[in-house]
Amino acid sequence: MSGHLIDLLGWSEVLAGFVLWLLSLPFRLVSWIVNSIGSTPRNPLDDFVGWLTGPDLTAFVAVIVAVNLVLLWATAFHLLIIMWIERKMYSRLQDRRGIMIGLGSFDILRRTLGRIPLIGRPFRRPSHLGTGFLQTVADGVKLFQKEVITPATADKWMFHAAPVMIASSTLLLFVAIPWSDGFWIMGSPGADGPVNPYGILVILAAFGVAPLGILIAGWASNNKYTLLGGMRAAAQLMSYEIPLVLSIIAVVFLSRSLDPFAIVRDQSRLLAIGGVTVPFLPNWYVFHPVLWIAFIVFFITIIAEAERIPFDIPEAEAELVEGWTTEYSGMRFGIVFGFKWLRALAGAALIVILFFGGWDGPVFTTVYVPNIATLGVGTVPVPILFQEFWFTVKVYIVFIVFVWIAWSVPRVRIDQILNIGWRTLVPLSVLAILLAALARGVNWL
Partner 1 sequence: MGPQHPMTHGLWNLRIKVDGETIVDAEPEIGYLHRGYEKIMEVREFQKNVVLTDRLCYVSSITWSHAYCLACEELMDVEVPPRGQYLRVITLELQRIASHLMWLAAYGPDLGLLTALLWALRERELFLDLLQLISGARMNQNWPRIGGVRNDAPPDFDQYCRKVIAHFRKKMDEYANVFEQSKLFQVRTVGVGRISREDAMDWGVTGPNLRACGARIDLREMDPYDAYPEIEFEPAVARDGDSYARYKVRMEELKTSCDLIERALDKLPAGPYRAKQPRRAEGEAFRRTEDSRGEALFYVIGDGDDRPYRVKIRSPIFSTMFAAPLMMRGNKVADVVAIMGSIDVCVGEIDK
| Sites of contact with partner 1 (CB under 8 A) | 90, 93-96, 228, 309-310, 312-313, 316-319, 321, 407-416
Q: Which of 414, 230, 211, 207 is nearest to 328 (CA)?
A: 230
Q: What are phi and psi of 237, to 5 degrees?
A: -65, -40
Find the shortest distance in angstroms from Cβ 93 to partner 1: 6
Taken in order 8, 11, 14, 20, the sign of the CA dihedral is negative
Q: 408: exposed, middle or buried (C-beta count within 10 Å: 0-12, 13-18, 19+)?
A: exposed
Find the shortest distance in angstroms from Cβ 293 to partner 1: 19
Find the shortest distance in angstroms from Cβ 302 to partner 1: 18
Beta carbon nearer to partner 1, 116 or 409? 409
Beta carbon nearer to partner 1, 27 or 407? 407
Instruction: Give the CA distances from residue 443 to residues 46, 256, 300, in Å, rounded to whole numbers and listed in that order.
Output: 63, 13, 29
CA separation for the pair 59, 445 (Å, rounded):
41
Beta carbon nearer to partner 1, 93 or 380? 93
Find the shortest distance in angstroms from Cβ 313 to partner 1: 7
Beta carbon nearer to partner 1, 8 or 406? 406
Q: What are phi and psi of 312, to 5 degrees?
A: -95, 35
Beta carbon nearer to partner 1, 366 or 416? 416
Find the shortest distance in angstroms from Cβ 91 to partner 1: 9
Find the shortest distance in angstroms from Cβ 244 to partner 1: 21
Residues 6+ apart with CB under 8 A from 273: 288, 289, 444, 445
R_g (Cα) of the chain, nearest Å: 25
CA separation for the pair 220, 236 (Å, rounded):
19
Beta carbon nearer to partner 1, 320 or 395? 320
